[in-house]
Amino acid sequence: MTSLAGAVPRMMRPAPGQNYPRTGFPLEVSTPLGQGRVNQLGGVFINGRPLPNHIRHKIVEMAHHGIRPCVISRQLRVSHGCVSKILCRYQETGSIRPGAIGGSKPKVTTPDVEKKIEEFKQTTRVCSAGKFEINYLRTEFVIEIPFLQSALSVASLRSKFGKGEDEDDLERKEQEEQEKRTKHSIDGILRERGTSLYTFPAGTDLYIHNDVH
DNA sequence: GCCGTCACGGTTGAA
DNA sequence: CATTCAACCGTGACG
């Protein structure tokens, strides 16, 4: 034992081609989701997954109060790189939401397709693409521009039309999903018991928040 | 000590 | 239905 009890092993940046050892993470926490970890600050995170919404909110809110990123990082136990990233994005986009994870890029439409969509929009005065519009356009293109059949995706058509669902709907759905997830996560379980993984050790200069529940 | 940036392993979901 | 792959994630180290 050369290190103090409870000391966090340093994770060195690996040489090119070298992988991080899985045990490089100081502590693994078993959760119903199976992959909770504890970072150097003692915060719990799920590798590869976005931070929970309430933490993201908290980061932005604290920054609004003029609290410095390094303090936010320590109090919320989130790495400063992450705090920096979230605040940067918030400044750029005004949104605290994580980007869309997964999926493929929409396939590119061609000028012909663009033209057809514009015509369609003008003649029908439709400005969002529902199932009917998508199917109609696909049928049109198959007849008139057969080679495009495979290139047409719902996503590419939708992107040209604008979203069929409005932002509020998406936001609401996402929130519901989040609630479902957190209810079954370790954080959710602890919070049901009145504990939070993001509570601070006694004596810490706490940032007061009452809206956690 | 603070902060921006980067490489990394991991997750996700459309194609 | 299974696989592929490019997007994103947060962490932790470097400068």
pLDDT digits (tens, 9 = 90+) for A60-71: 999 999 999 999
C-alpha closest to that of A47 among A79, A2, A1: A79
Pairing mode, if any, of strands A27-29 and A44-46?
A: unpaired
Q: Cα separation of A87 and A90, whole Å?
A: 5
Q: Cα separation of A122 and A152, whole Å?
A: 20
pLDDT at A50 over 80: yes
Identify the pLDDT of residue A115. Answer: 65
Q: Sign of dihedral through CA atoms A187, A188, A193, A198?
A: positive
Give the lowest-confidence range in A9-13, A93-97, A120-124.
Answer: A9-13
pLDDT digits (tens, 9 = 90+) for A69-118: 999 999 999 999 999 999 999 998 899 999 888 877 655 555 566 666 66
Nearest nucleotide relative to A27: CA against C1': C11
The rounded radius of gyration (Å) of the Cα atoms in chain A is 23
For residues A24 and A55, the model is more confident at A55
E-state strands within chain A: 27-29, 36-38, 44-46
A150 touches strand B (CB under 7 A): no
The gap between A85 CA and C11 C1' (Å) is 12
The gap between A132 CA and C13 C1' (Å) is 52
A40 touches strand C (CB under 7 A): yes
A6 touches strand B (CB under 7 A): no
Identify the pLDDT of residue A203. Answer: 34
Give the lowest-confidence range in A59-63, A125-129, A201-205.
Answer: A201-205
Identify the pLDDT of residue A103. Answer: 79
C-alpha closest to that of A80 among A28, A12, A88, A65: A88
**In Å, how far from its chain's centre is CA A55?**
12
Spatial CB neighbours of A181, under 8 Å, sequence gap ≥ 6: A33, A188
C-alpha closest to that of A155 among A210, A106, A112: A106
Q: Looking at the C1' of nucleotide B11, which residue has the nearest alpha carbon?
A: A48
* Mean pLDDT value of segment A121-136: 60
The gap between A182 CA and C11 C1' (Å) is 21
A26 touches strand C (CB under 7 A): yes
The gap between A207 CA and B13 C1' (Å) is 37
